[in-house]
Amino acid sequence: MALDFTHDPARRCIVASAHAPGCDFTLQNLPFGVFRRKGGNDPFQGGIAIGDQALCLAEAQARGCFDGLAGQAASAAGGSTLNELLALGPPAWRALRHALVRLLDAQEPHPKAAALQAALVPLADIEHALPIRVGDFTDFYTSIHHAENGGRLRNPPVGLAPNFQWMPIAYHGRSSSLGVSGERIHRPWGQARPSSNEPPVLRPCEMLDYELELGVVIGRGNARGTPVALAHAMDHVFGLTLLNDWSARDVQAWEMTPLGPFQAKNFATTLSPWIVTLDALAPFSVPWRRPADHPQPLPYLESAGHRAAGALDIELEAWLQPEGKPASRLSRTNFRHQYWSIGQMIAHHTVGGCNLRAGDLLGTGTISGPTAPEAGSLIELSRRGREPVALANSDDRRAFLHDGDRVILRGWCEAPGRARVGFGEAAGTVLAAHPAGSL
């Protein structure tokens, strides 16, 4: 994750809106997505976001904007998913990034700049599809603060699982129910057991929740039976996206003994439409830390380089907008608090020989910080409904999500002497459960 000319915060862009205060999609970012113009039947195509514009890479390539390895990467990124680009690996990703920055540079005008500008479309005029075809989705559980909060909410309270401080825990999620920001989610049905003295019942979820996470998009895969060493783990990451792992808490509480989540998690997971590349995040790598009095990682999860720069400084927020009312910020936290890093997740995922493939998705698990306002889910913020959360500019208090609620996740990186790099948002709206007659 070395820095180069593409990270220079002094560079100016030919798209003036990329310099607006608080702009997520700066010249130093250039996140990838898949989109098309609204209201038409054109195929979805890959591109990047810059300021308030989206650049269609297939059109830019057709106009002769790229050549060499960058041209190969642009062609691969121009399809209906980004998987072909992901499979090319870091040299191709980097060549395309370098070419884009040169083409968009306002201080050293490029001969093809006018051709590139002709391929721009206002963000307000596009609609999105999932940017990748996800073969497998693994959801991790890597926040010690989320784990401790959850244990305290059990009856009776329990401590950390014995394995939590020794390895990144995960379960296999459902790729078929992944959706893109803006989707509408029906409240799920499921089995719940209201009381230990009563039999379970099938009913619409009464404790619907969100989880504030990041999604890790795998680029270059590994051969089956070949573990990925921690030192090389990040070479397999294309980038990160926001991820809302919607959760039916009453269903989850009943079904999770003795195995992990199933129907409580398989009905919907919402991703933001833009993937922020690892190269764009390079200026925000920070040391990975483990308290000295905690168990230290086994050798395959440990290295000096990882200690020096294995974490990422990403600010994250969760917002809730009840139907017809203003949005309220529920929490703000930072990804640097995670107990296990992305590199450690990959090293552990593959240590037994599992082969990751281009387009695979890893969820980080709920991202919660050390203080109460940094919790990444309503079950933590409301203490399992015992202390419902007050919303700004409203008399509403929410323990869990209501029909009509819109959940919005946001994320960005900022630091002195660095250009802002943002993720946009992952938003989804809760609809009423399907009627009982449809079961």
Catalytically annotated residues: 146
Under DSSP, the state recorded for 86 is: H
Which positions ≥6 away from 111 have C-beta within 8 Å? none
Which positions ≥6 away from 368 have C-beta within 8 Å? 143, 145, 146, 149, 212, 333, 337, 374, 375, 376, 377, 380
Sign of CA dihedral 173, 227, 284, 6: negative
Nearest residue to 278 (alpha-carbon basis) of 102, 175, 413, 104: 413
- The H or E element spanning position 345 is helix 342-350
Beta bridge mates, 35 = 45, 128
Which residue has tokens 């003295």?
197
Q: How far apart are CA 33 and CA 357, in angstroms?
A: 19
DSSP one-letter string for 206-262: SSEE--EEEEEEE-S---TT-PPPGGGGGGGEEEEEEEE--EEHHHHHHH-SSS--S
Q: How far apart are CA 39 and CA 281, in angstroms?
A: 34
Look at strands 406-413 and 183-186 and give their pairing: unpaired
Which positions ≥6 away from 99 have C-beta within 8 Å? 65, 66, 70, 74
Which positions ≥6 away from 213 have C-beta within 8 Å? 139, 242, 243, 244, 245, 363, 364, 365, 366, 367, 376
Query: How is residue 188 written in tokens?
Result: 């799920």
Which positions ≥6 away from 279 have C-beta within 8 Å? 1, 6, 93, 94, 97
Nearest residue to 169 (alpha-carbon basis) of 362, 381, 383, 311: 362
Under DSSP, the state recorded for 388 is: P
Query: How is residue 136 written in tokens?
Result: 């497998």
Beta carbons of 206 and 401 less than 8 angstroms apart? no
Look at strands 201-204 and 311-312 and give their pairing: unpaired
